[in-house]
Amino acid sequence: MERTFYEIIRHERKKYHNPYCSGTDDSLSRFHRERACPGCHLHALCHGCREYNDNIEFEREDPLSDFVTNVKPAFRLDYDTELMKLETLASVNFSRYAEETHLDKEDQSYRLRGEYRATERSTFSGRLAYIRDTTLESGPESAAEGIDDAGIFYFRTDRKRYNADLGYEYRLNELSDISIDYSFRQTDYAFEENSDFDKQKIALSCKRRLKDQVSSVAAKFSYDHRNSETGEVDNYNLAGEWEYNIKETLRLTSSLGVRFTREEYDDGSPQDETWRGTADIQLRKRMDEQSALTVGYRRDLKTDSSGKAVNVDELYCNFSRKLTGRLRAGLASRFYYVKEDNEGEGAEDSDRYFFEVTPSLAWRITENYYLKLAYSYSTEYDNGEEDDPGVDRNRVWLILSFNFPGKW
């Protein structure tokens, strides 16, 4: 349900006509844009949700079903000057079950991000995050986001995540930029049979906007090291990227590459080396002022709960349409195919398929109140489970979000 908060935050920002505030992605805008809301501002909002879940733990046998109440207050603090921008977001989600009270919990999320323009041509950026949550507990707003770096969606456990990012971008001229980025990810699971892991990644890219002013190309090289309780993985990736505005209402972004991966585990299996392709292709279409459609395909390396590398293919489609001035409908769907990357000796012959579809209706009651009704059906098939390879789940949410008016 995290994105619900960001959607409201973006709506609040637009009231102050700030180009940075009106962005639709999760990155900070470039500092050469003019801003109209400098200073320090505090925003508060609250999110309440009543949910029915017919398979809380996504089990094949004897599934648990229950009603869940979630209350999630959040605060955002912005600090903006001519050279620096900082944003902090803190939230706590209180979950209470009607019958399965042993599952009651309080999730926490704390995020800090910022940018600093050192010169006219160079910009530093950074992010920090601490997230304590539970797998299988994402809300309808997460249906369009895809899986995180862990690539886990078929078991329930508490976890803690520590994220850090540092980036530097330098503008060579009016058409070309180079950048270097470092990221750190650490995931700790409460369930002892899962393998905690961390990942460090460094990426170097060079981007050039073409003279046609509607497209750009880039070359990107990255290296990441993944360390878990069961072994280590080194991954090298080289990709070419292309962005093209086919029409004013149609945009294509694509990244195609090749990766070399070396895996070494502590279970006695021999070291394995593989070559694979990578892809990230997305097509966004704004049909009119009322409708938008996004379709895409991704193929990349993830880390599963055992600490081993898995290859993940993802197809997704997101559609939204404004039915009236206050009512909007949405449909998000995604499909995953997950296979262990190591095909050598000791590899498990187990493929997983996962599908989820989430229709929703959102109604803006007033300027500060939002009501949303959503339903989700998800199913997973694991050919490694000979007796019962399939499992599914139905969920229904009724969500009320309140944005405290004004800013301090």
pLDDT in tens, 176-221: 999 999 999 999 988 888 888 899 999 999 999 998 878 999 999 9
Q: Enter the DSSP assignment of 405.
A: S
Residues 49-66 have pLDDT tens digits of 999 999 998 888 889 999
Predicted TM-score (pTM) of this structure: 0.83
Q: Enter the DSSP assignment of 384.
A: T
Closest listed residue to residue 372, CA positions, set 14, 46, 66, 50: 50
Which residue carries 């994402």 as its tokens?
138
d(CA 82, CA 289): 33
In angstroms, the Cα distances linking 387 to 51, 180, 382, 384, 391 are: 31, 49, 10, 9, 12
φ, ψ (nearest 5 deg) of residue 406: 80, -175
If one compares 91 and 349, the residue with the highest pLDDT of the two is 91
Q: DSSP string of 229-297?
A: TTEEEEEEEEEEEEEEEEETTEEEEEEEEEEEEEEEETTSPPPEEEEEEEEEEEEEEE-SSSEEEEEEE
If one compares 382 and 15, the residue with the highest pLDDT of the two is 382
For the chain, list the domains and their CATH numbers: 38-403 (2.40.160)
